[in-house]
Structure 1
Amino acid sequence: MHIESGNPQDTAASARPRIGRRALLSAGAVLAAGAGAAAATALGRDPAAAPAATPPAVVPHHGARQSGLTYRQLPATRLLALDLPEAADRDALRGLLAAVDKVLAAAADGSLADPRLSAAPISSLAAVGPALAARLKLPAPAELAELPAFPGDRLDAGRSGGDLLLQVSAEHPWTTGVLTEHLLAAAKPSGATLRWNQAGFLPSVPDGETPRNLFGFKDGSANPDPADPGLWNADGTILVYRRIRMDTAAFAALPADRQELSMGRRLMSGAPLTGAAEHDDPDIYVKHPDGSYVIPVDAHVRLSSPRLDGGARMLRRGYSYDDTPDDRGLLFCAFMRDPALFTRVQNRLAANDALNPFLTHTASATAWVLPGSHPDRPLGATL
């Protein structure tokens, strides 16, 4: 688990010049607002005192990079891993990606015909696993590879890997569930089968505030800008996914000061032990008068510090999950040009992290996040 993360994603999202389901819903909202104002006047209240409802943002699906990386993190997510038949070739993969892209584009602009979908922002991404890339000799980044085994891993093969990884995010789990149905239906003609799926969430927090993970700590306090060229390879990048079970009860039983020393941050403010505010840069070299480090040598923040990797950072967009009372934790999703960065960090954590007694890595995957699509060039068209 790595909590040195944040999400300064671009929140700009312009509506498309079309009349679709979202436009009709917006028109209905205007009519409803007018009726409400009339009723307020009849009751002697000032209708101007009631704030106007803000229409949901429309996330542009098409662009140089996929919206699942460029738009802000939405509170509900669903990850899907599909496997293609052994006989599948590049044409089969292109057909599958085109069908998936059609669903995602329609969902994003509000034209997907499904009465269960309401006007709401939707972001998504699609990524190709290393085994499929190698089998089809795709022009994937040379750095794309499976992760090595790490000490302490307890990986479930049925929850790991996959030929094609999809992620859809929205304001509500309902939306991601409905979209899952459409994506699986779109994938069926290609013979693709569902390998695993995983739902995740973020807690509701005010705009600009960092959400907390299931240990109660703020999770997302330092992250590179998504536009950082060090993250990208021709508008694509590489996803590292880890499903990490957290022993929340055992961690909660620790005294607060022990929790903070294990994490390297203050519980309430999120500030590093060497700073006063959440977004202060953790200084892993500051010492107490007795020579001991202020951020302990086994603190999570120290071992995952970019200072130990020449300043290299990952773009982290993690989610919590809560599948059963004894299976809750973190869906660690990080994006980088070279997953060797994650391997270096995870080796340090696996060897010395004070959080290790409370964490179990139960699933893993890497995948090449493709460049974005355009109306006349669906996902995978250039493969």
Structure 2
Amino acid sequence: MHTDPENRQAQARPATSGLGRRALLATGAALAAAVGAAAEPKASRPQRRDPASGAPPAAAIPFHGPRQAGLTGPQLPATHILSFDVPPTTAGADRETLRDILTALTHTLSTAAAGTLPDPRLHTGEPTRLACVVGVGPALAARLALNVPAELADLPAFPGDRLDPARSNGDVLLQLCAADRWTLTIVAELATAAARSAGAVPRWTQSGFLPHTPPGITPRNLFGLKDGTANPDDATAGRWVWGPPGAHEHGTTLVFRRIHMDVAGFAAVPQDHQGRMIGRRATDGVPLTGTAEHDDPDIYAKHPDGSYVIPVTAHVRLTSPRLDAGARMLRRSYNYDDGPTDRGLLFCAYMRDQSLFTRVQTRLAARDALNPFLEHRSSAVAYILPGALQGTPLGNALWA
């Protein structure tokens, strides 16, 4: 994770009419270059193909739609998260600044996702897929009286937290996901330039990755454990992840935690004991009360001697939806590796009501068997905006 040294400190309009002066500066050069690219003879443009098979790559992930693409498709293996602040002036000016930032980001990200961003580094012939998530933080939402869920707020302090304020929170949060780091590095650079030109101040950034995992297989974290097994299906997510009908229907709330992991210490624990700490077999993720990975863990099952099959301090027990009236969160976490002494998990969980995370983390902080191997070092909450329709910027409903 890197901290930017400079940071120590109504009805929505169509994207074209919503461009403020700074947003025009941020996007004008790109628009001019895009016109030039459109005029280029088609035969002279590199055609992206899979270098292994020679076949055309999978279609680009659409940027526009009712929900942001970074949450609706398969989880891509590389991520880059960027946090920005909106320096306070007056509420009216700050609202206009936020409009400009979201308009500039919408333009840059949509053209990047479509493969039409006028940057020659992205026209090398390699296939690329990009999906994005953009949200606003609770402090900015309160300051500007934005139309966000009433529950949106900073998280309380939890026992054991060791949070770095400079690497936490932020007014605007952007998560880029792609098939490769190359794409992320370039798009992050261009998105940062667009946001800064519109008035945003970079706060922190963080890169993450997943191991190569075949489709339909749960990825593993740096402990070697499957991460995301209990994610909800679409019907369940409609109740617990996405907002209720209305302005927030296609939005959700992100809870981000950067969790340092003692990888070597955990690896020294015998595998059968690891399983009891988790409540699942470490090898394949099968719950101690089941026969397949996706079996629902029975936290009430007991041995003949009366002890619980899934121990009382097991991670699976303390995070069980049975303790929260069935409520679930959607996890799309990533690993990070910032050197041999700083490795861990970028916990990214999405839910309709962030109080679910507060309840779960309160239980975990009190008695999770994994606590000796974990330390929460960064934290952020953001309302993830509904998707943008063609011709309009992200954040249309914020001004209602």
TM, length-normalised to structure 1? 0.87
Amino acid at match of 2:209: F
For residues 73-119 of structure 1, the C-alpha deviation after alignment (integer angstroms, 9 at most, x for no partner) is 10000010000111142111011100001011001111001122243
> For 2:167 and 2:46, how far apart are their aligned partners in 1?
43
> For 2:222 and 2:106, how far apart are their aligned partners in 1?
33
Question: Offset at 1:149?
Answer: 0.2
Question: Offset at 1:154?
Answer: 0.2
Question: Offset at 1:380?
Answer: 1.7
Equivalent runs, 1:89-100 vs 2, <5 Å: 89-100=94-105
Distance 1:27 1:195, change over 3 A: closer
> For 2:65 and 2:141, how far apart are their aligned partners in 1?
23
199, 204, 229: which one pairs with 1:191? 199
> For 1:25 and 1:229, how far apart are their aligned partners in 2?
45
Asked if 1:348 corresponds to 2:348, the answer is no
Equivalent runs, 1:6-17 vs 2, <5 Å: none
Question: Offset at 1:25?
Answer: 9.5
Asked if 1:79 corresponds to 2:81, the answer is yes
Equivalent runs, 1:293-304 vs 2, <5 Å: 293-304=308-319
Matched with 1:66 is 68
Asked if 1:57 corresponds to 2:66, the answer is no
Matched with 1:148 is 156
DSSP 3-state at the match of 1:90: helix
225, 229, 238: which one pairs with 2:238? 229
Question: Offset at 1:169?
Answer: 0.4
Distance 1:29 1:69, change over 3 A: closer
Equivalent runs, 1:34-183 vs 2, <5 Å: 53-87=55-89, 88-117=93-122, 118-183=126-191
Matched with 2:260 is 245
Question: Offset at 1:207?
Answer: 2.1
For residues 28-87 of structure 1, the C-alpha deviation after alignment (integer angstroms, 9 at most, x for no partner) is 468x99xxxxxxxxxxxxxxxx96624233101000010111121100000100001111
DSSP 3-state at the match of 1:363: strand
Q: Which runs of 4+ in 1 moved over 3 A?
A: 23-30
Q: How many positions carry a matched residue from both structures?
A: 348
Distance 1:238 1:25, change over 3 A: farther
Matched with 1:326 is 341
For residues 200-237 of structure 1, the C-alpha deviation after alignment (integer angstroms, 9 at most, x for no partner) is 00000222221111001111212113563221222111
Distance 1:20 1:313, change over 3 A: farther
Question: Offset at 1:376?
Answer: 1.6
> For 2:353 and 2:198, how far apart are their aligned partners in 1?
30
Question: Is the contact between residue 20 and residue 111 of structure 1 (CA under 8 Å) also seen in structure 2?
Answer: no
Question: Offset at 1:26?
Answer: 9.5
Matched with 2:273 is 258
Distance 1:277 1:188, change over 3 A: same
Question: Offset at 1:356?
Answer: 0.1
Distance 1:51 1:184, change over 3 A: closer
Matched with 1:39 is none
For residues 110-167 of structure 1, the C-alpha deviation after alignment (integer angstroms, 9 at most, x for no partner) is 1001122243110001100000000000011101010000000000001100000000
Deviates most, 137-146 or 221-230 = 221-230
> For 1:275 and 1:379, how far apart are their aligned partners in 2?
43
Question: Is the contact between residue 239 and residue 366 of structure 1 (CA under 8 Å) also seen in structure 2?
Answer: yes
TM, length-normalised to structure 2? 0.83
> For 1:219 and 1:139, how far apart are their aligned partners in 2?
33
Question: Is the contact between residue 48 and residue 56 of structure 2 (CA under 8 Å) also seen in structure 1?
Answer: no
Question: Offset at 1:268?
Answer: 1.4
> For 1:122 and 1:296, how far apart are their aligned partners in 2?
41
Question: Is the contact between residue 85 and residue 170 of structure 2 (CA under 8 Å) also seen in structure 1?
Answer: yes
> For 2:43 and 2:321, how far apart are their aligned partners in 1?
48
Question: Offset at 1:315?
Answer: 0.8
> For 2:357 and 2:191, how far apart are their aligned partners in 1?
30
Question: Is the contact between residue 199 and residue 321 of structure 1 (CA under 8 Å) also seen in structure 2?
Answer: yes
**RMSD in angstroms over aligned alpha carbons?**
2.2
DSSP 3-state at the match of 2:121: coil
> For 2:39 and 2:179, how far apart are their aligned partners in 1?
20
For residues 255-296 of structure 1, the C-alpha deviation after alignment (integer angstroms, 9 at most, x for no partner) is 111111101111112101111111111111111111111110
Matched with 2:299 is 284
> For 1:109 and 1:25, how far apart are their aligned partners in 2?
18
For residues 183-214 of structure 1, the C-alpha deviation after alignment (integer angstroms, 9 at most, x for no partner) is 11101222211100000000002222211110
Question: Is the contact between residue 63 and residue 109 of structure 2 (CA under 8 Å) also seen in structure 1?
Answer: yes
Question: Is the contact between residue 104 and residue 198 of structure 2 (CA under 8 Å) also seen in structure 1?
Answer: no
